[in-house]
Amino acid sequence: MTSEGFIPSYETGTEWLRCVGASSDVVMSSRVRLARNLAGWRFGHKAGHGDRQKVLEVCRDRIAAAGLSGVGASTSPAPATPTAPPQIMWIDLRESPPIERQLLVERHLISKQHSKGKPLPDLKAGDVETTDPRGVAIALPDERLSIMVNEEDHLRIQAVRGGLALAEAWADADRADDLLESQLDFAYSPRFGYLTCCPTNVGTGVRMSLMLHLPGLKLTGDIEKVKRAAGDMNLAVRGFYGEGSEAAGDFYQISNQTTLGKGEQAILNDLAGEIIPKIVEYERLARRNLLSKRGAALEDQVYRALGLLTHARLLTAEESMQMLSHVRLGVVMGLVSDVDLASVNALMLLTQPAHLQRVMGTELDQEQRRNARAQLIRRRLLKTN
């Protein structure tokens, strides 16, 4: 396991943005997350600095010994241009500069909470970001697997696949869990299952979620119906960066809320076999209805967004995401032919603050980022130098 600085591939993007696989016009990605804690150690907010430091060291060493590098690796034929062999990278978040932690958040490899760290009961007020022991292990080069250490739970095992591929993501997470459990003693109750900090995660400790692009339902005004129906089925609807975030660019994460009393396969069957295919069907129907009944208005919205992106001189991240969402809708519906989907997907990531500064090669204040963001989008969409 390497512990060098994190240098992502900007052009190829990360797994959740590749948009390959089933229903990728609507389903951006499928994610499975497992919450685990070590037996014999204090959980979460009850743990002091010494406990969390020891947990960090134990987990780091066991992750290195678990043989995780092949989990989720592509089994397709070797590409014409060889890629780096699979490996696990370890990042100590206390030692990472803020921009690197933000890069990891933007790539959905760690949570915002994990980036910031948490106050500890036995430390004086100070810079929590540089004192709270925490880290993350990432599978390279595809980033399909990441393992957060000392987030809310001791371990958060996350597997991601592009498109509607929840079964494949579950297989990756389950395999990683088995390998780690051969190295670590997890806190488990014969009665309740895996024990976690939050009661809603007790049991299987599994959270299955899918990131959906739902501009059709948003434009027809039906998105609130979907949210209410999801709530009735005990599902959570969250924003672009998960819990506590808002929807950006008509992207929503839908996931199970509870894990106690329901097995992994039942959750998988409900989401991937019934609920998500229905939402995909509703979204596609909304898009067709918009095209047939409000075609001129739809095209106008798509091309207004494209015109703004190719001519604006100042753009915020929120404006960019919303406009790119409209353009993405136009591309997948065949309304826009001179912009490819890969370019739109890449811009969704590259225009985020940390990625933008890395692409530009310098730190930028908010006003400079607005200027640089607009410049980058113009250059990419107009394919100019």
Q: How confident is the model at residue 385 (pLDDT cuts 50, 70, 90)?
A: very low
Please spell the DSSP secondary structure of 360-383, one letter per residue: HTS---HHHHHHHHHHHHHHHHHT
Compute the mean pLDDT over every residue in the chain, rounded to the nearest whole number.
89
| Closest residue by Cα to residue 156 from 35, 68, 31, 264 | 35
In this predicted model, which residue has the larger pLDDT, 244 or 227? Answer: 227
pLDDT score of 299: 96
Q: Does domain 15-72+82-285 correspond to CATH entry 2.60.40.1220?
A: no
Q: What is the pTM of this model?
A: 0.90
Q: Where are the alpha helices (DSSP H) in 252-294?
A: 264-268, 276-293
Q: pLDDT, tens digit, for every residue of 288-313?
A: 999 999 999 999 999 999 999 999 99
- What distance in Å separates the CA atoms of residue 248 and residue 364, rounded to the nearest whole number? 22
pLDDT score of 176: 97
pLDDT score of 258: 74
- What distance in Å separates the CA atoms of residue 68 and residue 112, rounded to the nearest whole number? 25
- What distance in Å separates the CA atoms of residue 302 and residue 323, rounded to the nearest whole number? 8
- What distance in Å separates the CA atoms of residue 343 and residue 376, rounded to the nearest whole number? 12
Q: Does residue 81 register a pLDDT over 50?
A: no
Contact predicate 36/194, CB 8 Å: yes
In this predicted model, which residue has the larger pLDDT, 24 or 240? Answer: 24
| Closest residue by Cα to residue 258 from 194, 207, 193 | 207
pLDDT score of 278: 94
CA 249, 285, 248: angle at the middle one, nearest 5? 10
Q: How confident is the model at residue 200 (pLDDT cuts 50, 70, 90)?
A: confident
Question: Mean pLDDT across the stretch 143-155?
Answer: 96
pLDDT score of 253: 93
Residue 160 belongs to what H/E stretch?
A: strand 155-162
